[in-house]
Every structure is written in C-alpha cells, then in structure tokens.
Chain A
C-alpha cells in the first residue's frame, strides 16, 4: 500500500489554459474525494466518487471543473479556461465507505495560474 498518489505535485499554467490532475487512491478504498485548499483556509469540498459513480458535486463548483473516475480506480480533475482565482492546492483523499472512516490524503497538487 503506497498511500494516495497525486500528480503532478506542482503545476504552473497561463490563464485560459486547461489543466488536468490525477489521483491514485489506496486500492481498497472505493470512496475518492477532491478538495481545494487556499492559504489559511481549511479544505473545501469539490466532489466525490463511490467506485466510478460521482455522487456529489459542490454547488459552488464552476462548470469549468470536471472530474472522472472511469474504472473506479484512479481519478482525474480537469479545470478548463483557468483563472487566477483557481490557484490553490488541490487535494485528493480516499476512504472506505461510511461516515466512520477518516480520509487518507495525497500530497496534493499545487496549481499556480499566472
């Protein structure tokens, strides 16, 4: 078990470009979550999957954001037409199903939009 893996660790992109991040969860975990964290704030929920099904997407999430988990294993988060306000740490986490299991987070992808 190598934990939750996220790639890339850092991404610098120009405003208006599209970016895609990848998350590989712990293999036994069928729940996968995406969060966004800005400096001085706690992680903000974006979306989550159980197996390949996307069960919830934050109402605050722009249509420019999309996530997939095509085979119930790894997941990708794409941001289209990036804006400077998208600059943040994007965290992926996985867990077993149910409310009693805490998450294991990946190392995150730090996005800087210039």
Chain B
C-alpha cells in the first residue's frame, strides 16, 4: 500500500461546477495535511493546509479531514479553467520531522 494515495484522474468538470479531489494515507499518526497545486512544467504551490478533523475553508477552496478514516479531500467551488492543474496531496507522518510524503497527484481539467 502506498503511503499517500490519490485518484490519478484525469478529473474533468465543467466551468462553475464543484471539483472534488480525494486522498487517503496509511500512517494513522500523521499530523499535518497539505494540498499543493502544480501547473504543467511548474513547481508545486501550497494552497491549503489542515491539521484538525473537519472542514477548513479559504475562498473557493475547502479542505476536509477525517483522521478516523485516514481521508483528506479538497473541494473547489465555482471551478474555473485557470484551476486546471495537477493537485498533490501531502502528508506529514508522525515523528518524521515535518518531512512530507506526496501522493501521485490528480489531474483536474475544467472545461469552459
């Protein structure tokens, strides 16, 4: 089992719809969870972090964490073509000094 798993996609949604991206992780003691956005040919950019169970909202983005189910998700409301990118889930496992383990990424395509 991979440490961090994501649906590889591609995920295609129409403009204005909600995009839902999912991630599961294997280390039950993991402390911190991050979502990065990566445009083609560019480096990853941090867009959301979450540490406690529940929802965290920032503009059109909502991160959801369920530690019991070892599940993290990212919702993007009112999706725009500029949201088309690969979204990487990253997890900080317990007692590993803040090192992040990344999933393989989910490619999102928002169609006008």
Residues of A within 8 A of B (CB): 31, 33, 35, 40-45, 48, 50, 55-56, 89, 91, 95, 97-108
Verify A100–B32 contact, CB threshold 8 A. Answer: yes
The residue on A at minimum CB distance from B91 is A99
Verify A55–B105 contact, CB threshold 8 A. Answer: no
The residue on A at minimum CB distance from B97 is A55
Verify B105–A99 contact, CB threshold 8 A. Answer: no
Residues of B within 8 A of A (CB): 4, 6, 8, 31-32, 34, 36, 42-46, 49, 51, 88, 90, 92, 96-105
29 CB-based A-B contacts, threshold 8 Å: A31-B98, A33-B100, A40-B8, A41-B105, A42-B6, A42-B88, A42-B90, A42-B105, A43-B44, A44-B102, A45-B99, A45-B100, A48-B97, A55-B97, A89-B43, A91-B43, A98-B98, A99-B92, A99-B97, A99-B98, A100-B31, A100-B32, A100-B92, A102-B46, A103-B46, A105-B43, A105-B45, A107-B42, A107-B43
Q: What residues of chain B lie closer than 8 Å to A91, measured between beta carbons?
A: 43-44
Verify B88–A108 contact, CB threshold 8 A. Answer: no
- Measured in the bound complex, the distance between the Cα atoms of B45 and A35 in whole Å is 14
Known: A42-B104, A89-B43. 6 other contacts (CB 8 A): A43-B44, A43-B102, A91-B44, A99-B32, A103-B46, A103-B100
